[in-house]
Chain A
Amino acid sequence: MFKGFKFTRKIENTLMLIFTFIFLGYISMSPDMNLESLKGVLIIGITVGIIYGLVAVGISLIYTGLDVVNFSHGEFFMLGAFTGLTVYNFLIDGELIYAIFPDAYGWVGYVIGLFFAFVIMGLFGVLIERVFLRPLTKKGGGYTVAGMGIIICGFGLSVVLLNLAYIIWNPTAHPFHADLGLPINIGGVTLPMTYLWMLVTGFTVAGALYFFLNKTKMGLGVRAVAHSKVISNLVGINVPLYISIIFGIACALAGLAGTLVGPTYQVVVYMGYIILLKAFASAVVGGFGSLPGAIVGGFTVGLFETSCAFFISGSHKDAYAFLLMIVVLLIKPTGFFGVQVKMKA
């Protein structure tokens, strides 16, 4: 176009800043704009964002570890929600929890539900990886034709898991009546306890993941395998085992996020599909393959979506995440924390 004109990182960032200002200016002209609503939007946006972030981190982890995008990740989220719900109902409705702890509160059952959703989805993920994806990764993985096979396998897995849930839990929406106590007031905003649980648990798990990846030996191995399988082999890491661990952690995070979301909305068989796309958008916004990027992208998408839904129009709520994704892809294709773009299937 212009000779010597280069679309540098500086221009990208300037354009992103301009877009942010236009957006902030637009929503500040909204008639609903006041401090109260702004606070509410901020808190809810961050809460939704950490959930998107947790699922997006899983997608990014699998992308770096197996070199493919896992399209069945939403189903692990859904199954996690059902696992949590089932465990919670089993403990509370069966009054089993009161038999063990006579003075127990509802949240004890909820914590156990969260724990089971995390562990069972993690083990289930490892099983899926070993049985269905291992033969394909052995044939070459993401860079080869087998990588295409893994992607198609992901779609197929999504349909199979969806129908499995359909058979077990039927298609009606299941309310998740987690007895977590009365809503609390934070800085003038009345917040249901379920939101507080999402916030606190989400941040704790994200922090724990950071600690795991950066401070433990196993986390070092995970990062090494994510970067290069050949070099990891040469330093003596059991690469197939670590790929299973990566897949398991990613699925466990999705399952946990499912149980966190459950009490706020409803647990329904189709809940995995929209969260997959939103988490995908978060991962792209933050920079695909970057783990801090996935969390930051989750916050960005959560805040953008919530503020658009509140200040502009609530009837297109699900479209805003993709609007943001398209804008980011146009202006800053690498995302916020974009690593160098790699050719992967």
Chain B
Amino acid sequence: MLKIKSLVSGYGSVQILNGANMKVDNQSIVALLGGNGTGKSTILKACSGIIRTWKGSINFNGEDIQNLPPHNIVEKGLVQVTQGKDVFPAMTVLENLRLGGFTLKSKQTLNDNIEKVFNYFPRLNERKSQLAATLSGGELQMLCIGRGLMSNPKMIMLDEPSAALAPQIVLDIFKNINKIRKDGLTVLVVEQNVRMALLLADYGYVIKDGVINVEGESKKLMYDESVKDSYLGGGGTTANV
């Protein structure tokens, strides 16, 4: 579904990605792991068109999408979900969701999708007329994922869905991500919570210094000693929960 070939990109004149290669299969969950500042989020931003691709190609569903304007990429069905704090705080939950479906043409689809999101996250239904600023951290993350689902995407890319959340809520969100995949979507998840991410995913990539360093089936990665030691903070210090 998504093929990234020797992707080179960065911010301003600072190069972050030095030729990353990745592949995400249809209806799979793929985890992208790595420490701080290794370029995990940069890959997502290049895919969603927020930053320019300097070299290499990003292929989505057989089309090259590198350097397209971001709204065109959303229309093609590739949506990035940012961390929970990136909502519109002065708008209600419902308005936030409507914005997620901004590319939809018909009002009927919009309402259907809102129902669909409420099915995944019943908490949002309870809070639908509240301002987004009044939500808790977990609810904000649900809102962000829900907003990403609003535009009928084929694939969503999640940027650290577990960041700064209580373990119970993380579990709940990850269960929902699994449900979303079962309903036919492809998921790419960027995580620092390594153990959780590998439990969820089918396949994993570990990124270091802007290139993919290790890849493999997530079950194998979980017991890969070299991965544990070098990138996952040996002995599982960063991989608790």
A231 to B147, CA, bound (A): 11
Q: Hey, which chain B residues are within 8 Å of A227, CB to CB?
A: 88-90
Contact present for B88 and A239 (CB under 8 Å): no
| Complex interface residues of chain B between 135 and 191 (CB less than 8 A to chain A) | 147, 150-151
Contact present for A231 and B82 (CB under 8 Å): yes
Contact present for A220 and B99 (CB under 8 Å): yes
Interface bracket on B: 20 to 34
A238 to B103, CA, bound (A): 10
- Flag whether B39 is at the interface (Cβ < 8 A): no
Contact present for B151 and A220 (CB under 8 Å): no
Q: Hey, which chain A residues are within 8 Å of B216, CB to CB?
A: none
| Complex interface residues of chain B between 225 and 239 (CB less than 8 A to chain A) | none
A233-B147 CB under 8 A given contacts A217-B102, A220-B98, A228-B88: no
Could you tell me the distance in whole angstroms from the C-beta of A194 to the nearest C-beta in chain B? 37
Closest partner residue, chain A, to B70 (CB atom): A233
Could you tell me the distance in whole angstroms from the C-beta of A92 to the nearest C-beta in chain B? 45
Which of B23-31, B72-80, B118-126, B197-205 is found at the contact surface with chain A?
B72-80
Closest partner residue, chain A, to B69 (CB atom): A238
Residues of B within 8 A of A (CB): 48-50, 69-71, 74-75, 79-82, 86-91, 95, 98-100, 102-103, 147, 150-151
A221 to B96, CA, bound (A): 11
Contact present for A235 and B90 (CB under 8 Å): no
Q: Hey, which chain B residues are within 8 Å of A238, CB to CB?
A: 69, 71
A217 to B105, CA, bound (A): 11
Interface residues of chain A: helix, strand, loop or mixed (majority): helix
Interface bracket on A: 10 to 19
Residues of A within 8 A of B (CB): 217, 220-221, 223-224, 227-228, 230-240
A25 to B90, CA, bound (A): 38
Q: Hey, which chain A residues are within 8 Å of B82, CB to CB?
A: 230-231, 234
A235-B50 CB under 8 A given contacts A223-B91, A224-B88, A227-B90: no
A239 to B50, CA, bound (A): 11
A240 to B70, CA, bound (A): 11
Sample (8) of A-B pairs whose CB atoms are under 8 Å apart: A223-B88, A230-B86, A231-B88, A233-B70, A234-B80, A235-B147, A236-B75, A238-B71
Could you tell me the distance in whole angstroms from the C-beta of B7 to the nearest C-beta in chain A? 19
A221 to B98, CA, bound (A): 10
A234-B102 CB under 8 A given contacts A220-B95, A227-B88, A228-B86: no
A230 to B80, CA, bound (A): 11
A220 to B90, CA, bound (A): 12
When A and B form their complex, which 5 residue pairs have the shortest distance between CB atoms, in order from nearest?
Answer: A236-B74, A233-B70, A236-B103, A236-B71, A238-B71
Q: Hey, which chain A residues are within 8 Å of B88, CB to CB?
A: 223-224, 227-228, 231
Contact present for B50 and A234 (CB under 8 Å): yes
A232 to B48, CA, bound (A): 12
Beyond the given pairs A227-B89, A240-B69, 11 more chain A to chain B contacts, judged by CB atoms under 8 angstroms and listed by A's residue number, are A217-B98, A224-B102, A230-B50, A231-B88, A232-B99, A233-B71, A234-B80, A235-B100, A235-B151, A236-B79, A238-B69
